[in-house]
């Protein structure tokens, strides 16, 4: 049923000259370059603090260092999926139905899936060292795994084809459904069982149970990974914009060629 023919009229500001004026085929701007450099500096800083300066844990020894990656990746994944949900809502409920929101949603989901995979991998490595098993059927772990699978599905839906607007609407609906699905999954698994280590920083009582330097390293990690996320989203959604342009341009070129052919035929 679905066709791969996009409708150029439905996309605002999509003439070829606008593209070349703005980005000339690359996705960086002055701002994103500064952001990239800042991210790089912070990542180096995180490596130094995480691996060298911060002390080992009394009970967990050096395996505690996994936390400096595990917690920030989890945070970024949740942030990314939150942004996807928000952008999906913006696309769907704004009258303009701007594809820019759709691309932000898609870019954010891709990056979220990547970071969620990193969270699961680092978490299971840490689990093997601390609990003795790679995986435990704990509420938070299970919810995270479901979050991962749900957004893998979301990305699959984005690749279904059809016009850009069709893709945007379908995935926006799915992005919002995911937002209501996850609390339900979490609630049901929570009822089922719970084992995960209690949150050490964001616990309700408000007192932080952690060495100062460890806490500092953790915050460096959170900031570094957040910047990395923004840098990646900026680039990815611009790359997606170019991909969409390319699709549309392809159609235009094909149309011009066919027209030229028919002219030649009629002359001959």
Partner 1 sequence: MWRTARLVAAKDLGIEWRSRQVTNQVLPFAGLTLVLFAFALDRDEITARVAPGLFWLATTFSLIVLVQRTFAVETADGALDTLRVAGVDPAGIYLGKALALAAQLVVLEALLLVGVIVFYASHIRPAGIVLVIVTAFLATSGLAFVGTLYGGLAAGAKGRETLLPLLLLPVVAPVLIGATRAFEAAFGTRGGEGIRAGVEISDGWPWVGMLAIFAAVFGAAGVLAFGPLLEEA
User: Where along the sequence are the contacts to partner 1 (CB under 8 A)?
Assistant: 1-2, 92, 146, 149-150, 152-153, 156-157, 160-162, 165-166, 169-170, 173-174, 176-177, 180-181, 184-185, 187-189, 191-193
By beta-carbon proximity to partner 1, the closer residue of 189 and 234 is: 189
By beta-carbon proximity to partner 1, the closer residue of 60 and 165 is: 165
Of 53, 32, 44, 14, nearest to 211 by C-alpha is: 53
Minimum Å gap between C-beta 98 and partner 1 is 16
In the block, tokens 């920083």 appear at 201
For residue 79, give both structure tokens.
């942030």
By beta-carbon proximity to partner 1, the closer residue of 47 and 136 is: 136
- What distance in Å separates the CA atoms of residue 77 and residue 45, rounded to the nearest whole number? 21
In the block, tokens 């984005």 appear at 158
Minimum Å gap between C-beta 225 and partner 1 is 25
In our burial notation (b when 16+ CB lie closer than 10 A, e otherwise), range 225-234 reads: bbbbbbbbbb
Nearest 5°: phi and psi at 202? -90, 45
By beta-carbon proximity to partner 1, the closer residue of 2 and 262 is: 2
Minimum Å gap between C-beta 125 and partner 1 is 24
CA angle 102, 108, 109 (to 5 degrees): 90
| Total Cβ atoms within 10 A of residue 214 | 21
Minimum Å gap between C-beta 214 and partner 1 is 34
In the block, tokens 């990815």 appear at 236
By beta-carbon proximity to partner 1, the closer residue of 99 and 233 is: 99
Minimum Å gap between C-beta 23 and partner 1 is 28
61 bridge partner residues: 57
CA atoms within 13 A of residue 2's CA, in its CB half-sphere = 12
By beta-carbon proximity to partner 1, the closer residue of 39 and 150 is: 150
Minimum Å gap between C-beta 153 and partner 1 is 5
């Amino acid at each position: 049923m679905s066709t791969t023919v996009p409708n150029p009229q439905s996309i605002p500001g999509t003439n070829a000259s606008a593209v070349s004026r703005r980005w000339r085929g690359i996705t960086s701007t002055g701002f994103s370059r500064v952001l990239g450099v800042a991210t790089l500096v912070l990542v180096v800083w995180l490596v130094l603090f995480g691996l060298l300066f911060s002390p080992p844990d009394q009970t967990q020894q050096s395996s505690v260092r996994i936390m400096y990656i595990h917690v920030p990746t989890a945070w970024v994944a949740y942030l990314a999926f939150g942004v996807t949900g928000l952008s999906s809502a913006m696309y769907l409920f704004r009258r303009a139905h701007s594809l820019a929101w759709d691309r932000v949603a898609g870019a954010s989901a891709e990056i979220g899936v990547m970071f969620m995979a990193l969270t699961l991998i680092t978490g299971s490595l840490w689990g093997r060292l601390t609990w003795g098993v790679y995986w435990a059927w704990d509420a938070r772990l299970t919810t995270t795994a479901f979050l991962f699978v749900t957004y893998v599905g979301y990305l699959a839906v984005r690749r279904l084809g059809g016009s850009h607007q069709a893709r945007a609407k379908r995935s926006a609906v799915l992005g919002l459904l995911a937002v209501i699905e996850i609390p339900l999954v979490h609630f049901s698994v929570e009822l089922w069982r719970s084992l995960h280590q209690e949150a050490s920083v964001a616990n309700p009582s408000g007192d932080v149970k952690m060495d100062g330097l460890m806490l500092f390293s953790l915050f460096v990690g959170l900031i570094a990974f957040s910047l990395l996320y923004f840098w990646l989203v900026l680039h990815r959604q611009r790359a997606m914009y170019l991909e969409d342009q390319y699709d549309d341009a392809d159609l235009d070129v094909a149309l011009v060629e066919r027209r030229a052919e028919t002219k030649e035929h009629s002359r001959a």
